[in-house]
Amino acid sequence: MRSHFLFLAAVPFVAHSVHAAFGLTSKGNSFSVDTNAGLIFEVSKSNGDITSLLYNGVQYQGTSKMSALNSGLGTSTVTGETINGYVKITVVSKSQPLTHYYVAKPSEPTIYMGTYITAEINPGELRWLARLRRSAIPNGWHGDAGVLDGCQAFEGKDTFKCPNGQTRCKMYTSDRFIDDQVHGVTGKNVGIWLTMPGVAYETSSGGPFMRDINTQSGDDQELYWYMNSGHVRTEDWRFGLHGPYAMRFTTGAQPSANLDTSFFGSLSIQGYVPASKRGSVSGSATGVPSTFQAVVHWSNKAAQYWTTASPTNGSYASPLMKPGTYTMKLYRGEYLVAQDSVTITAGGKATKDMASTDPNPSVVWRIGNFDGQPFELKNGDKIERMHPSDVRMGTWGGSYMVGKSLPKDFPMALFAKEGGVATINFKVSKEQATSDNLVLRVGTTLSFKGGRPSVKIGSWQGKDPGAPKLIDSRGVTRGAYRGYGEVYTWKLPTGTVKEGDNTLTVGVLGSGDASFLSANYIVDAIELQGPAGVDSPKA
């Protein structure tokens, strides 16, 4: 059975539905959907905005702005229908290359969604944004990270300083895509959760370690899912169906990430690829020590996927993937250690083994881990949730003594005009001092304004390696730590270091604005390769 409505109007209308059996009702300027599970939501017939979110008798939709894609699609063609027992509302934008779907399933307090695009969206981002009554649902994601009460913007319009010296930013509520299957906001007897199951991220860009905004608590309680943006962007956009994803209502508890969306296959959703038309790959990924997460990542211009390998035997199995040939990468943490390719066919089950090809040189000393993450270094445990100027941060720059200091004593970022340089004091033996195989290696995870390392030992000054590929986005000040991940090496001329005490000075080449918006980079690890000593670290 299939029923269908079509309506195009000029003025949106907010209304409150009366609870009834599951189904779709056309009423005035809106479509009303009763899920028969406590949730009744309404969609404007003029622009596709959600204008009402009534759950267990409480209205959660904000009043100043509606819940919508981006900040609203504007005039759209909106249709509502019932297909095979499901409610489907289709929104076709008049100004953007975009079609959005709302789907309801009987007896579930859930709004299933899918967003289909055929070109890049203006103004350069694609997000679902629920604007909710904060008085009814006050608690954001990651505690106070995105709570703006009493705070003033001091960097752009999105980073705030509070009277107590702490900092806030909606970027500080983000999580890596590989970890972010469910996030939400809560209140008394309620939780509203965005759920991105299975292949929801396949048409996004940025890979498994990309992070983007989840919530912001200002006048409204804002709940986001970013499908694409310019926030530390490292890939071109992908086009097609983003999703299925869902906004789920509970009485407070966080729901499981498992969500069956296979019924989308019966709803004529553009770009939806059912399991029967997908394939997979499995195998073994070896050479990553069990102390690090081994991540396997597939990508091409049309899609991206990821999984983790077993820390005990390296076995992995991919999610179901669209047919095509993919670049396949293996990471130690977030540090690339191997690359290959694989072809996926519909219904096929490919096999592919990978092993780390990362060299394991002898080292005199090493600070940190080459894992693509700065968390073990100074302030690295805070940078995802705070601005570098936050009062809770430790000092920047400083001195490090090899053999005595800990990784947490070396700064996770260096700035051209803030915090000064970092010095590394170290001792070498006669054999090490006379070696002609000394190589200094500095790994970075993200650069801003062309920031790259300057290195100096005694009278030797390392050659400028040249500015890295530009990412036109603030990074470390908005909690981001991952970009392209450059690694710089300098072969030390014989005699650069002397037997006994030596000092390496590490600074920043590049300029930019003042303070923390000057040229900067985030440190992954630093090592001096050469003849190992008794206390030299093991890989």
What's domain 2-256's architecture? Distorted Sandwich (2.70)
Q: Give the pLDDT score at 17.
A: 40
Share of the chain above pLDDT 70, in %: 95
Do 117 and 126 contact (CB within 8 A), yes or no? yes
Q: What are phi and psi of 174, to 5 degrees?
A: -85, 160
pLDDT band at 505 (very low <50, low <70, confident <90, very high): very high
Q: What is the pLDDT of residue 20?
A: 65
3 pLDDT higher than 70: no
Per the structure block, which two tokens stand in for 311? 């820390």
The arithmetic mean of pLDDT across residues 37-52, rounded, is 98
Cα distance between residue 144 and residue 107, in whole Å: 34
Tokens 């030299």 -> residue: 536
Name the CATH topology of 363-529. Jelly Rolls (2.60.120)
Q: How many residues in the chain?
A: 539
The whole-number average pLDDT for the span 299-306 is: 98
Confidence (pLDDT) at 514: 85
The conformation of residue 430, written as its DSSP 8-state character, comes to: H
Calpha distance 59→131 (Å, rounded)? 12
pLDDT digits (tens, 9 = 90+) for 97-136: 999 999 999 999 999 999 999 999 988 899 999 999 999 9
- Mean pLDDT in residue range 286-304: 97
Q: Stretch 300-324: mean pLDDT, rounded?
A: 97
Structure-block tokens of residue 143: 């505690």
Query: Which pair of structure tokens corresponds to residue 41?
Result: 């939501």
Task: Report the pLDDT value the prediction gives residue 534, as an integer from 0 to 100.
Answer: 59
Residue 7: per-residue pLDDT: 38
Architecture of domain 275-355: Sandwich (2.60)
pLDDT digits (tens, 9 = 90+) for 149-177: 999 999 999 999 999 999 999 999 999 99
Listed in sequence order, the DSSP H helices in 246-327 are none
- Domain map of the chain by residue range? 2-256, 275-355, 363-529
H/E segment holding residue 184? strand 182-187
Mean pLDDT confidence for 371-398: 98
Mean pLDDT lowest among 337-346, 371-380, 474-483, 506-515 = 506-515
Residue 532 structure tokens:
């190992």
pLDDT of residue 535: 60
* Chain segment 56-111, per-residue pLDDT in tens: 999 999 999 999 999 999 999 999 999 999 999 999 999 999 999 999 999 999 99
Residue 272 and residue 241 in contact, taking contact as beta carbons nearer than 8 Å: yes
> Does 363-529 match 275-355 at the fold level?
no
The number of beta carbons lying within 10 Å of the beta carbon of residue 21 is 7
List, for residues 220-268, the tens digit of each pLDDT value: 999 999 999 999 999 999 999 999 999 999 999 999 999 999 999 999 9
Q: What angle do CA 129, 133, 136 make, to 5 degrees?
A: 130
Which of 40, 18, 57, 36 is CA-nearest to residue 188? 57
